[in-house]
Amino acid sequence: MNLKGRNFLTLKDFTPEEISYLLDLAAQLKEDKKKGITGDSLKGKNIALIFEKPSTRTRCAFTIGCIDEGGHPEYLGKDDIQLGYKESVEDTARVLGRMFDGIEFRGFLHENVEKLAKYSGVPVWNGLTDDYHPTQILADFLTLREQFGELKGLNFVFAGDGRNNMGNSLMIGCAKMGINFTCLAPKSLWPKEELIEQCRTYAKESGAKLTFTEDTDAVKGADCIYTDVWCSMGEEDKAAERVALLKPFQVNDELMKKTEKDTTVVMHCLPAVKGNEVTEDVFEKHAEVIFDEAENRMHTIKAVMVATLGEK
């Protein structure tokens, strides 16, 4: 499959077959790395890593993934370039596109990553925006495949702030891949209706079921319960209000018992605020899977770079 030259901004832009291809490639690259085999598909390539928001997994994954494949990553923090302040995003994009072979962007406005893609002329990858976090979803799906063998037909529950970038992106990914998706959240924090309708179209094709509910009994039969911080970056002023609103949706022993299964896994994109969205004991019980998921950020991000920019 040829994804050369493509941007990776949201999973909306990719077919289920293309997503599966990226997961297969990531699994192969992971296996190779475990054997000490790295590649040279990015040899001679320079990659710009733009970070408006701090990052552990995304920054490390892009840096190591790039170096493993022979490329050179250049970190550009918010104080290093003039992006959108002294220089327009469009002009920055045109400069970087002449010097770099690929650009990663992690920041606030999704329109900024779209502008970078439109004006740079090189592949642009979304390392997280306020609306979407597609590289995380690839890591999540690789982890689910490792746990359950396949994705189609799994029962997946997202508990928490259903309209943040993770809620949005997981819904898109599940709907495309035939995973039954339940958003367990207060109604005020469900995804936007427009995005729900778009995902219903994907679900019709894949056979996935989409459910939106405030009833915690909906976790019955879940293969995976997924949660994320209750306050996204930039929303710290809403912390007290969010804790009060989301406390009934905490992933704890009581919620886990309602699955009526002992094979349910808990996943978290990290960093976690233990005691808020997930209790420490439930987190630690599922830590092996959660940190597999964190490691898989590197293998899936490497796959995205190799597929869209690599020479092999």
The yes-or-no answer on residue 136 being catalytic is yes
Q: Which letter, b or e, does each residue of 71-91 get, where b requires 16 or more Cβ atoms within 10 Å of its Cβ?
A: bebeebeeeebebbeeeebee
CA dist list (Å): 111 to 10, 16, 68, 150, 304: 12, 24, 30, 34, 21
Cβ burial, residue 13 (10 Å; 0-12/13-18/19+): exposed
94 is in an annotated binding site: no
For residue 58, say whether it is annotated as part of any ligand binding site.
yes
Q: Does the annotation flag 297 for ligand binding?
A: yes
Q: How far apart are CA 102 and CA 134, in angstroms?
A: 17
Told to judge if 228 belongs to the known catalytic residues of this protein, a careful annotator would answer yes
- Whether residue 145 is annotated as binding a ligand: the answer is no
228 annotated ligand binder: yes
106 part of the active site: yes
> Is 143 known as a binding-site position?
no
CB-count exposure of residue 243 (10 Å: 0-12, 13-18, 19+): middle
| Amino acid occupying residue 291 | F
8 A C-beta contact, residue 170 and residue 197: no
Please check if 106 is assigned to a binding site. Answer: yes
133 is in an annotated binding site: yes
165 annotated ligand binder? yes
Single out the residue of 100, 132, 130 nearest to residue 116, CA to CA.
100
Annotated catalytic residue 133: yes
Q: H or E element: which one contains 158?
A: strand 155-159
Q: Please tell me which residue in 110, 133, 145, 242 is annotated as part of the active site.
A: 133
Q: Flag whether 169 is marked binding.
A: no
Q: How far is CA 32 from the centre of its chain?
A: 23
Active-site residue, from 228, 231, 286, 299:
228
Instruction: Give me the catalytic one of 6, 59, 130, 136.
Output: 136
Per the annotation, does 57 bind a ligand? yes
Do the annotations mark residue 163 as ligand-binding? no
59, 242, 297, 299: which is the annotated catalytic residue? 297
73 and 60 Cβ atoms separated by less than 8 Å? no
The active-site residue out of 174, 199, 224, 269 is 269
Instruction: Tell whether residue 270 is among the known ligand binding residues.
Output: yes
CB count within 10 Å of CB 27 equals: 17
Q: 232 labelled as ligand-binding?
A: yes
Q: Which residues are catalytic?
A: 106, 133, 136, 228, 269, 297
Binding residues for L-ornithine: 165, 228, 232-233
Binding-site residue set: 55-58, 82, 106, 133-136, 165, 228, 232-233, 269-270, 297
Cite the annotated binding site for carbamoyl phosphate by residue number: 55-58, 82, 106, 133-136, 269-270, 297
